[in-house]
Amino acid sequence: MKRKLLSIAIIAITVCACNSGKKTERQSQQTETQIIKEEVQSINENETVKDTAQKETQTMEKEVKKETTEKVKVVEKAKTSNEPVFDIVTSMGTIRIKLYKETPKHRDNFVKLATSGYYDGILFHRVIKDFMIQTGDPDSKNAKPDSSLGIGGPDYKIDAEILPQFKHKKGTIAAARQGDQINPEKKSSGSQFYIVHNQNGTPHLDGAYTIFGETISGLDVIDKIATAPTGRNDRPVTDIKIEKIIRVE
């Protein structure tokens, strides 16, 4: 009897051990399966993130390429324009001007100086209400209040291009120059120019100075500059400067 009970106990233990082993094996398999699932999910997530990053990068590259292409087109258009357009950005606002193709020497000279930064920081050194505002003297950069201005410029003059079809209306861009006594050929200053302020123009200057452009927008800015308080030699009491000149067309 005792032997039978012992045998039964051994069998029971063996069965339990087998069941326990099978259970442990199943748990182990389930754990491995779960790990594999998590790894697969992680891989998929990483692939999704990578795909998203690649798409975003491609989108950004397309946008940058498009923007660069547009800028190149603007620059190329500007280079080939016969009547270039510039923004004269001043400390009192922006004046947009167009240069005439009929006065190529003055046009090309202005383009050269403006695009090289020559005018950056130069003052409107002579301002007369209902007449004109004048600028372009490089000596006016950081000039002291009592400085005598109006004679500075590059070491050359520009041949006159005085044409009858161009009149001194408000907003006209014309080249400054020395008087007829020492400059009978009416050659223009290499850099100085003025903008007419008078609403009715200044017809008494017609035929005497080269007009090479006109104001497209910003007449209100010209008004502000022309009506600013002035002191000695018609120089504004508070400096009014050209911050930069930008070619826009």
Of 80, 106, 139, which one is at a domain's C-terminal end?
80
Tell me the pLDDT tens digit for each residue of 103-139: 999 999 999 999 999 999 999 999 999 999 999 999 9
Q: Which residues pair with 5 in a beta bridge?
A: none
> Which residue did the predictor score with more confidence, 192 or 67?
192
CATH of residue 200's domain is: 2.40.100.10
Select from 54, 80, 106 the last residue of a domain. 80
Q: Are residues 57 and 98 in the same domain?
A: no
CA–CA gap between residue 66 and residue 212 (Å, rounded)? 35
pTM as predicted? 0.69
Q: Are 86 and 38 in the same domain?
A: no
Q: What is the pLDDT of residues 57-93, one digit of tens each?
A: 788 777 777 776 665 555 555 555 799 999 999 999 9
Same domain, 115 and 9: no
Structure token pair of residue 213:
């452009």
What would the two tokens of residue 114 be? Answer: 């403006």
Same domain, residue pair 109 and 98: yes
Q: Which domain holds residue 138?
A: 82-247
Residue 108 sits in the same domain as residue 225: yes
- 116 and 172 part of one domain: yes
